[in-house]
Amino acid sequence: MEDIYIVGVGMTPFGRHTDKSIKQLTAWAVEDALSDAGCDRKSVQAAFFGNCTQGHFDGQHMIRGQVALLPLGFDSIPIFNLEGACASSSHAFNLAVTQLRAGAADVVLAVGAEKMFYNDKAKMFSAFESAWDIETFEDNKNYLSQMGKNVEVPPGSQSAKPYSPFMDVYAALGRGGLMERFGITQRQLAAVASKNHGHSVHNERAQYRNAMTIEEVLAAPPITYPITLPMCSPISDGAAAAIVCTGAALKKHGFDRSRAVRVLASVVRSASARAADEFNKGCTHLAGKAAFEQAGISPQEVDVAEIHDATAIGELLSMEALGLCEPGTSGVMAERGETSLGGKLPVNPSGGLESKGHPIGATGIGQIFELVEQLRGNCGPRQVEGARIALQGNGGGLWRIEESTEHVGIFARA
């Protein structure tokens, strides 16, 4: 199989960019990626563009990638539009890698961009309502409500303010998949959030950069039990981009091999038909298993991970599904500091979605940006010492009781 490399990455700060359009955010990330790679835009032979909500908010459908990229000088090349909920830019990255492996190009751009913060809160949160099968919404809601039904929900643990409907999904999965099944506690979930907020202090691109103790996380306003506000990702704007090339193109285009990061695996899987208690047959588990097989390594060889923590519950569920810990131990690992910087397996040194931010169409490549910088040794106070193997896990949408889609990427220092 052809060796594939990431030679350039770019990422805007994630947050509220009320003065920037989605075109401007895209241009910011793309220009930074080109500069980072030392790549002329005319060398790029195809582009893959991930975005979810621009149609919902702005009415721009059908040709979002062309609208964003043609003004940047990427004329005449194939531009593909990808939409896969929170995994949209991971889909863009995966298809960029596939394009290279197929021999259809030797230098490709993958980019994700999203502008989600709007003053109309009802419209803003409604953007999430089509990330599952809208025809079976009530059936899904009723099914999820039965998960973790034996877990006592304290009074006053439900927010009266609007929030993303996916928080109810995560809460149900957390009560059923973690608390009822393994005895994972709300305090352990708070440890995840505290860890991620602490990591983000050192990330200049993070939306939030304030450390929080476990007690502060637990005392924060409730969203829906067991989730409190700091345990869930914010509404964000932002963009991220990657320049990807073949091994032969490294020399051909004069890219710096010492800064290149090798793609050991890039795998996408869709939701499985598993039963609620068949945790080892789910989408994330299947994507992870295939990725480790493709990379030829085991989960124990991973030095650093960026995984999908739209809530603290999501981080623990992903760790379990990806085989990064023994079943039922993810909460204990977080509470012991084993997933913190300096721990056994640092997870989300960027601050994760909870603190770095979550502009859903840009999130996947945002994770890849962090891992490329980690493998280059460029992360300063949040650097994972000696990192050589990195894993990215990014899910999107919901199908019954799991993600509709999951991308797992594995990367190595070249």
- Residue 229 is predicted with a pLDDT of 97
**Among 238, 251, 179, 220, which residue's Cα sits nearest to residue 361?**
238
pLDDT, tens only, 356-384: 999 999 999 999 999 999 999 999 999 99
CATH class for the region spanning 129-234+264-413: alpha beta
Tell me, rounded to whole angstroms, the distance of Cα 115 from its chain centroid: 16
DSSP secondary structure, 63-107, as one string: -HHHHHHGGGT--SS-EEEE-BTBTHHHHHHHHHHHHHHTTS-SE
- Residue 303 is predicted with a pLDDT of 98
Q: 90: which 2 tokens?
A: 């991971």
* Residue matched to tokens 């009560």: 175
Question: Does residue 280 have a pLDDT over 80?
Answer: no
Q: With bands split at pLDDT 50, 70 and 90, how would you rate the model's confidence at 218? A: very high
Q: 408: which 2 tokens?
A: 């797992």
**Among 360, 366, 388, 341, which residue's Cα sits nearest to residue 236?**
360
Active site residues: 86, 358
Question: Does residue 141 have a pLDDT over 80?
Answer: no
pLDDT, tens only, 384-400: 999 999 999 999 999 98
For 179, which DSSP code?
A: I
Helix then strand count (H, E) for the chain reads 16, 11
391 and 307 Cβ atoms separated by less than 8 Å: yes
Question: Peptide bond preceding 230: is omega within 30 degrees of 0, i.e. cis?
Answer: no
In angstroms, what CA-CA distances link 344 with 5, 324, 337, 349, 392? Answer: 27, 11, 8, 13, 17
DSSP secondary structure, 218-238, as one string: HHSPEEETTEEGGGBPPP-EE
* Residue matched to tokens 């084993």: 338
Please indicate whether the domains covering 4-119+236-263 and 129-234+264-413 agree at the CATH topology level. yes
- Residue 278 is predicted with a pLDDT of 76
Question: Does residue 16 have a pLDDT over 90?
Answer: yes
**Among 287, 313, 317, 314, which residue's Cα sits nearest to residue 391?**
287
Task: Give the mean pLDDT of 303-314.
Answer: 97
CA gap 200, 89 in Å, rounded: 22
Which tops the pLDDT comparison, 278 or 282? Answer: 282
pLDDT, tens only, 164-200: 888 888 999 999 989 999 999 999 999 999 999 999 9
330 and 320 Cβ atoms separated by less than 8 Å: yes
CA gap 311, 329 in Å, rounded: 18
Return mean pLDDT, the chain.
Answer: 95
380 and 136 Cβ atoms separated by less than 8 Å: no
> Angle 174-82-323 (CA atoms, 0-180°, nearest 5)?
35
Domain ranges of the chain: 4-119+236-263, 129-234+264-413
Max Cα distance, the chain (Å): 64
**In a 3-state reduction of DSSP, which class is residue 217?**
helix
β-pair type (4-11, 237-246): antiparallel
Q: 138: which 2 tokens?
A: 């009530």
**Helix or strand run (H / E) with residue 48:** strand 46-50
**Helix or strand run (H / E) with residue 247:** helix 247-252
Report the CATH fold assignment for 4-119+236-263.
Peroxisomal Thiolase; Chain A, domain 1 (3.40.47)
**Among 351, 348, 346, which residue's Cα sits nearest to residue 333?**
346
pLDDT, tens only, 342-356: 999 999 999 999 999
